[in-house]
Structure 1
Amino acid sequence: MGNLTVQRPGWEERRRQQPLLAARSRLPLPGHSSRAEPPLAPSCPAGTCSMDSDSGELSEGEPVSPAGPDCFSSKNLALQAQKKILSKMATKTMANMLIDDTSSEIFDELYKVTKEHKRNKKEAHKIMKDLIKVAIKIGILYRNNQFNQEELEIVDKFRKKLNQTAMTIVSFYEVEYTFDRNVLAELLNECKDLVHELVDRHLTPRSHGRINHVFNHFADVEFLTALYSLDGDCRPYLKKICDGINKLLDEKIL
């Protein structure tokens, strides 16, 4: 009993000193929570901007948003994708979101109409996720001046082709009986070819697969026929999509 009385104060003293010593050495204490310092992003050499690492992939599965697992939000998905991609780069900040509010609203309607056509919520989510990731990667490459002069000429061609496609989509909706699924499918496939050409030296085959996945769906003539059916279930979605496209055209975004 005498020995215990002598040793106990020393043990208490060591215990009081342990947090201070551990703090000085920056080592976590057993039984104490410790949050690791976030790793610094690797530097991004001039002319190169790697963002296509598989480790930056968003998880597959059902869309999840603050409103619940059944409420799809392209804005939330875009924010997640942007954070994932930028976490792999030295440039971690952007002046604003790479996908604007109107485009997000269009994407939401594209998700709904794709889910309606496919009768498959998971596949619709995957298509939209691929679309958003590709759009964000191209936006980051452009804002970080990663495209050379030849690629900037492709950007200009793509903008013109996208503008032509957007006006055709709206025209086919606003003027009854003018819809031609083959014309619209051809325009979308021309957009796809330009995107492949633009990102050829920047993105991996996996991203090229995403590009095919997105455009092969939206350029599918059966999908386009269902979308433009005058008495079909997709008509309300098409109206909102065209309203959004008209707004982007008026604002000179498209």
Structure 2
Amino acid sequence: MSSSPDTDRFKTNELALRVQKKLASKMSNKSMVKMYIDDRSGHLLDNLYRVIKTYTNNKKQSEKIIKSVIKIIIKSSLLIRNKQLSEQELSTCETIKTKLQSLMMSFISFYEVDFSYDFSYLNKQLTQIRTLLVTLLSKHMQPKNVQKLENLFVFFNNKQFLDTIFNKKNEIYRPYMTTIVTDLNVLLDGNS
């Protein structure tokens, strides 16, 4: 039984994608990150790490959270770059992008405008994004990676965490939050 060139090529492409995903999960180091995450986003993630580390007082947990964020970004980028998503899934990606931009604007507003922070509003936005991402990526990722994604949202959608970082009286977070908000503004301006 001979195989057609199309089937051989498809298997090769599929294998190449699996290898890229495997490499992405093993190599979330700086060189791999630079291929998929620009300097501004990297700077934002550095400061997000500092906020998480300050909040948790746990370096290992903070590194694990940021590493999971990076892996999700890289794996999602690989799916898009390698044209592994259907038209419907690409449409979902656009919806996620729009909702992320809205979340970023809310984050900025809640930080810059006194007494505007609203956990319920952020909770709703984060829950919608989580649902869309999990639905989208569960078809393309191992269950353990989908669980990591779920765990990220459990952490970031935690009321105590959000209340703490948005509390203007919490001076320890101010330098990081100011820098994060600056980075978010630049990222939003670049996406206009």
TM-score normalised per structure 1: 0.66
Alpha-carbon RMSD? 2.2
Find 2:173's aligned residue among 234, 242, 245.
Answer: 234
Equivalences for residues 1-254 of structure 1 within 5 A: 43-45=12-14, 49-50=17-18, 51-53=20-22, 57-58=25-26, 77-80=29-32, 97-232=35-170, 233-252=172-191
Q: How far apart are the structure 2 equivalents of 1:151 and 1:180?
A: 31
Contact in 1 for aligned 2:24/2:75 (Cα 8 Å): no
TM-fit CA distance, 1:78: 4.7
Say how many residue pairs are matched: 180
Q: Provide structure 2 residue ranges, at least 5 long, that are not aligned to the other structure.
A: 1-10
| In structure 2, C-alpha distance between the alignment counterparts of 1:128 and 1:227, rounded to whole Å | 17
CA–CA distance in 2 between the matches of 1:200 and 1:151?
12
1:200–1:57 CA distance, 2 compared to 1 (3 A): closer
Q: Say which is worse superposed, 131-140 or 211-220, in terms of deviation.
A: 211-220
Q: Is the 8 A contact 2:24 2:74 kept in 1?
A: no
The higher relative CO (CA closer than 8 Å, separation ≥ 6) is in 2
The percentage of aligned residue pairs carrying the same residue is 29
From the CA coordinates, give the structure whose radius of gyration is larger. Answer: 1
Aligned residues of 1:78 and 1:132 also touching (Cα < 8 A): no
Does structure 2 retain, via aligned residues, the 8 Å contact 1:170–1:242? yes
Aligned-partner SS, 2:13: coil
Counterpart contact for 1:229–1:235, Cα < 8 Å: no
Task: Give the conservation status (yes or no) of the 8 Å contact 1:128–1:214.
Answer: no
Deviations 1:200-243 (A, max 9, x none): 21111011011012111111111001111112121221111110
SS of the residue corresponding to residue 114 of structure 1 reads: helix
Specify which structure has the higher proportion of helix.
2
The letter for the 1-side match of 2:29 is L
Tell me, yes or no, if the aligned pair for 1:52 and 1:204 is still in contact at 8 Å. no
Question: Taking structure 2 as the reference length, what is the TM-score of the superposition?
Answer: 0.86
Deviation at residue 132 of structure 1 after TM alignment: 0.3
What amino acid sits opposite 1:145 in the alignment?
K
Confirm or deny: 8 A CA contact 2:24 2:71 kept in the other structure. Answer: no
- Check the 8 A contact 2:100/2:129 in 1, yes or no: yes
CA–CA separation in structure 2 for the residues paired with 1:136 and 1:57 = 9
Return structure 1 stretches of 4+ with deviation > 3 angstroms.
55-59
Tell me the CA shift for residue 43 of structure 1. 2.6
Contact 2:53 2:62 in 1 (8 A): yes
